[in-house]
Amino acid sequence: MTLLIYENRHLIIMHGFNFKMIRKIISFASTVLFLLPAQAQQFPENVIIQDIAIAKQGKKVPLERLAPGELITVEFSRLPIYIYKRTPADILTLKTSQRDSLADPDSENFRASVKRQFSSSATVVWANLLLQAETIAARKPSRSVDESILVVSAAAPTSGCMLALTNTQEKRKGALFKDPCTGHIFDLAGRAFKGSGTFNLAVPPYSVAGSTLTLKALGNGALDKPPFSKQEMYQTQNATKLLISAALYNDMESIKAAIKQGADINYFRIGEGSPMDAAIAGSSIQVIKFMLQNGAKPTPNSEALARALERQDVLKLLTPQLN
């Protein structure tokens, strides 16, 4: 069972979840991306451990039957990944395309785009994997290990919606993917066109040997460590927003600091999130207990969110306050 919610309240993957229940909690999210297995225990530690195991084991994808112009979808690190076989015409278009039509032709916004993907403690492994693939994402003009193969996340970087192939007219302009929720279009290397946001499509780490593509962590770098400093993650936030962000990242030290600075622990605004719901999405049960001890109360979304994420530990803890 997998759930993925992203900013602007768009559902990407929903296996085994009650859709009516999901609709009740979608209003919670504000830049929240999280992936959880069923019956998650010792969250987020166990989720991170499982994600590391998946990343190190890797996933082999045979390419011999992938025809030029064909697109397949595979799952890696709990996310849908697109693998597209470029045609000779696609490769020529890439080499002759007009750079001035692209928002970020040289991937200068790479770190900012990864930072956006790192939206809760449960996405730390995915964010580190993306950083490992920086050299691939920066290759010009293909953003590929093999110029005939494009490998990108199937999730649009701004809305989080599942990308679709462009229509014939857009394809003639060199566009391959389109975000159905925003209308943003991306070229044959997954680069955003001007007017389509500032982030290119995410590229996972992978290698190609013969006719086999392997999605897998590269090197031996730690995958469970925050890929950005606290200064980069929190920037200049007021105490309440710091509390919400720290709760998403299971950061007890910053949570305590925000409360000491006078954060509103019961802040709740649709589309802006709340400290309690952020903690349910990204923090351990110890953090949630600490927040309750400091006056936090469940929001109108808390129970539905905890049920959708199957956080039985949270439901048990909140039951007295929900009745």
Helix (H, G, I), strand (E, B) or coil at 151: strand
Instruction: Return the pLDDT at 40.
Output: 55
Q: Are residues 206 and 253 in the same domain?
A: no
Q: Structure tokens of 230?
A: 């606290």
Query: What pTM value is reported for the model?
Result: 0.86
CB 44 within 8 Å of CB 284: yes
pLDDT (tens digit, 0 to 9) for every residue of the chain, 323 residues total?
333 433 333 333 333 333 333 333 333 443 344 444 434 578 999 999 999 999 999 999 999 999 999 999 999 998 999 999 999 999 999 988 788 999 999 999 999 999 999 989 999 999 999 999 999 999 999 999 999 999 999 999 988 899 999 998 888 889 999 999 999 999 999 999 999 889 999 999 999 999 999 999 998 889 999 999 998 999 877 999 999 999 999 999 999 999 999 999 999 988 788 999 999 999 999 999 999 999 999 999 999 999 988 899 999 999 887 76
Q: Are residues 152 and 71 in the same domain?
A: yes
Whose CA is closest to 202, among 133, 147, 142? 133
Distance between start and end Cα atoms, the chain: 28
Helix (H, G, I), strand (E, B) or coil at 184: coil
Q: Are residues 60 and 207 in the same domain?
A: yes
Instruction: Return the pLDDT at 6.
Output: 35
Q: Confirm whether 129 is domain-assigned.
A: yes
Q: Confirm whether 220 is domain-assigned.
A: no
Which CATH number is 251's domain given?
A: 1.25.40.20
Q: Confirm whether 227 is domain-assigned.
A: no
Our separate counts of H helices and E strands in the chain read 14, 11
Q: Confirm whether 44 is domain-assigned.
A: no
Q: Are residues 208 and 246 in the same domain?
A: no
Q: Confirm whether 232 is domain-assigned.
A: no
Q: Are residues 141 and 257 in the same domain?
A: no
Residues in the chain: 323
Instruction: Return the pLDDT at 89.
Output: 94
Which CATH number is 79's domain given?
A: 2.102.10.10
Q: Confirm whether 45 is domain-assigned.
A: no
Whose CA is closest to 161, among 195, 137, 136, 186? 186
Instruction: Return the pLDDT at 171.
Output: 84
Q: Are residues 268 and 178 in the same domain?
A: no
Instruction: Return the pLDDT at 227.
Output: 95
Q: Confirm whether 174 is domain-assigned.
A: yes
Q: Confirm whether 226 is domain-assigned.
A: no
CB 16 within 8 Å of CB 39: no
Whole-angstrom distance, CA of residue 214 vs CA of residue 71 = 16
Which residue has 């993917």 as its token pair?
A: 177
Q: Are residues 312 and 257 in the same domain?
A: yes
The kind and range of the H/E element at 250 are none
Q: Are residues 84 and 183 in the same domain?
A: yes
For every residue of 299-318, DSSP letters joined together read -TTHHHHHHHTT-HHHHHHH
Q: Which domain holds residue 60?
A: 53-215
Instruction: Return the pLDDT at 219.
Output: 86
How many structural domains is the chain composed of? 2
All residues at 6 or more sequence positions from 278 whose CB lies less than 8 Å from its CB, including other chains: 32, 120, 244, 245, 247, 248
Whose CA is closest to 190, among 155, 162, 152, 141? 152
Q: Are residues 62 and 154 in the same domain?
A: yes
Per DSSP bridges, beta strands 10-14 and 3-6 are: antiparallel
